[in-house]
Amino acid sequence: MLNLTKKILLAFLASIVFSLGVSKTVNSKTVEIIMAAPDWPPTRFMQEYFNSSFPQEGDTEIKLTLDFIPWDNFYTNVAASLTSGEQKYSMIVSDSQWLGAFIEGGYFQKLNKYIDADPELQAIFDDMHQGYKEGYTTYPYKSENYYGFPQFPDNYVNFYRTDIFCNPEENAAFRAKYGKKLPCTYADWEIVVWDDIFDINEFLTRKKGEMMAGKPLEDDMFGVTYQAGKAYDFSSMQINGFFWQYGGDIWREDQQPDAQAIGVVNSDINVAALTKYLDLLATMHPSHKTGGMGIFEMQALYLEGKIASMINWVGLGAPVVDPNLSKVNDITGYARQPGTMQDDGTISRWANLGGQPFVLTTWMTQEEIDASFKIIKWWLSYDVQIEAVKAGGQSCMKSIIYSDGYNALAPWNAAYVASMDWQKDVWHIPEFFELLTQQQEEFDKAITGQQDAKTTLDNIAEFQQELLEEVDRIQ
């Protein structure tokens, strides 16, 4: 018996020694960059393409290891890792809104001195689209302090069913009823404003068994759908766009400490914008009543052919064209999301910027920093960006998005590029999550019909004013 115990103890000790040995097999000639990344195609592509085509030069081998973390737990994992100070990651894919929180914590590295010293990096910065540069790299927002590079730029497009919207009979019926065209082509959608969506949704909301586009429906059908979910930022992103399109605003972090929350967030314009958002929502698929119309839930409905159109991130486009995942892979068209008609006859299309930059952390050695910049230059080089776009990724480098043939690389590229000049970002301050969570809760109450737009925005404005005064961001 005693011997057995000793043996077990020995085996255990041996295995600890073994495991320590295993974790220290990195060659001294290799610089390994470990990057925290969400587990989805744009980051998987980065890893796979790096492994197959990164040009190694000199005697130090650069190794890029992406630590893939499920999206659902990504934020928690990164936040826990950073605040614990375990210094596990050299690079991190970060949502743009997280910048402030982690920069103020001393975790993300300011890049200005490296950019100033390196013309190649300057060229990259100059080449980035202005709105995206501001969203992905600056902190404070729109300042000259740079922190990140684009990993996956993203914005909204409208995914729609061409078999329905381009069906001649449906088109004729729609014209007969509403006296206007049911939008079918990209150009048709360019003149669609939110008010038109009322008609489109009324027209396309049909019961199981009714005819649509020449066939009886197997299930209830609904028209255009957009985000209205409680989780993360799944209603704020769409609602912010409505505020901006109507000429309203959110609290302006780039105008501290003068910018106010009360009077701005709950302005009459914003109340009207939110009311419009809620009225439109009432014509959409009832899933939003659970507070569960997040970006993925909406995508699942669209892929299964339960809704005729969705306004969603380009980043979720790849599965739409994948015949294994999508029932609408060959009958989807892409357009810009609808806008709001302004007094001068133009259409305002402001929307909230999506996508993620990647950043460097503050504890890297000089060797690691050098290696990281090699990786960044490689990733943002023309050929690699083109390959990324082909694989479902995106770019915000002007030399690439405005180059010939770019729109042909992916079916949604035209809509993506045309939307780029209409992006603004939500706050980047460290208190971001608190502002967002409270706002999401209030929006959710409005979406699920528990309170009206005015009450909702009053509550939000009051909370923001109090919090922002407490942290000296409003005087």
Site for other proteins, residues 326 to 385, rule: CB under 8 A: 327
Residues linked to residue 280 through DSSP beta bridges, in sequence order = none
Which CB atom, from 64 or from 184, has the smaller least distance to other proteins? 64
Nearest C-alpha neighbor of 207 from the set 191, 219, 225, 195: 219
Q: Is 152 helix (H, G, I), strand (E, B) or coil?
A: strand
336 near 157, Cβ under 8 Å? yes
Nearest C-alpha neighbor of 96 from the set 361, 326, 424, 475: 424
Which CB atom, from 184 or from 384, has the smaller least distance to other proteins? 384
Tell me the three-class secondary structure of 198-256, residue by residue: HHHHHHHCECCCCEECCEECCCCEEEEECCEECCCCCCHHHHHHHHHHCCCCCCCHHHC
Which CB atom, from 74 or from 189, has the smaller least distance to other proteins? 74
- Which of 80, 123, 173, 211 forms a contact with other proteins (CB under 8 A)? 80
- How many residues sit close enough to other proteins to count as binding (CB under 8 A)? 90
* Residues of this chain, 150-189, that bind other proteins according to CB under 8 A: none
- Which of 291, 333, 338, 339 forms a contact with other proteins (CB under 8 A)? 291
- Which of 290, 329, 403, 455 forms a contact with other proteins (CB under 8 A)? 290
**Secondary structure (DSSP) of 97-122:** GGHHHHHHTT-BPP-HHHHHH-HHHH
Following CA atoms 105, 106, 111, 117 in sequence, which dihedral angle do they give, to the nearest 10 degrees?
160
Closest approach of other proteins to the CB of residue 173, in Å: 24
Q: Is 6 helix (H, G, I), strand (E, B) or coil?
A: helix
How many of the other CB atoms lie within 10 Å of CB of 53?
A: 11
Which CB atom, from 223 or from 291, has the smaller least distance to other proteins? 291
- Which of 218, 254, 330, 367 forms a contact with other proteins (CB under 8 A)? 218
Side chain identity at residue 354, one-letter code: G
- Which of 64, 81, 197, 246 forms a contact with other proteins (CB under 8 A)? 81
- Which of 296, 329, 369, 414 forms a contact with other proteins (CB under 8 A)? 296
For Cα atoms 290, 430, 360, give the angle at the middle one, nearest 5 degrees: 105
Which CB atom, from 331 or from 347, has the smaller least distance to other proteins? 331
Compute the half-sphere exposure of residue 155: CA atoms within 13 Å on the CB side of its CA.
30
Distance CA(377)–CA(240), nearest Å, equals 33
Residue 40 per-residue DSSP state: S
433 touches other proteins (CB under 8 A): yes
Closest approach of other proteins to the CB of residue 463, in Å: 11
Closest approach of other proteins to the CB of residue 324, in Å: 8
Which CB atom, from 163 or from 431, has the smaller least distance to other proteins? 431
Compute the half-sphere exposure of residue 139: CA atoms within 13 Å on the CB side of its CA.
27
472 touches other proteins (CB under 8 A): no
Which CB atom, from 43 or from 167, has the smaller least distance to other proteins? 43
386 touches other proteins (CB under 8 A): no
Placement of tokens 């409680």 in the chain:
230
Per-position x/- string for 391-430, each x denoting binding to other proteins as judged by CB under 8 A, each - no binding: xx-------------------------------------x
* Residues of this chain, 9-68, that bind other proteins according to CB under 8 A: 9, 12, 15-16, 19-20, 22-23, 34, 38-42, 44-45, 48-49, 65, 67-68
Which CB atom, from 70 or from 168, has the smaller least distance to other proteins? 70
* Residues of this chain, 221-240, that bind other proteins according to CB under 8 A: 230-231
Radius of gyration of the chain (CA): 25
Closest approach of other proteins to the CB of residue 386, in Å: 12
- Which of 445, 454, 462, 469 forms a contact with other proteins (CB under 8 A)? 445
210 touches other proteins (CB under 8 A): no
257 cis-preceded (ω within 30 degrees of 0): yes
Distance CA(234)–CA(439), nearest Å, equals 11
Which CB atom, from 88 or from 454, has the smaller least distance to other proteins? 88
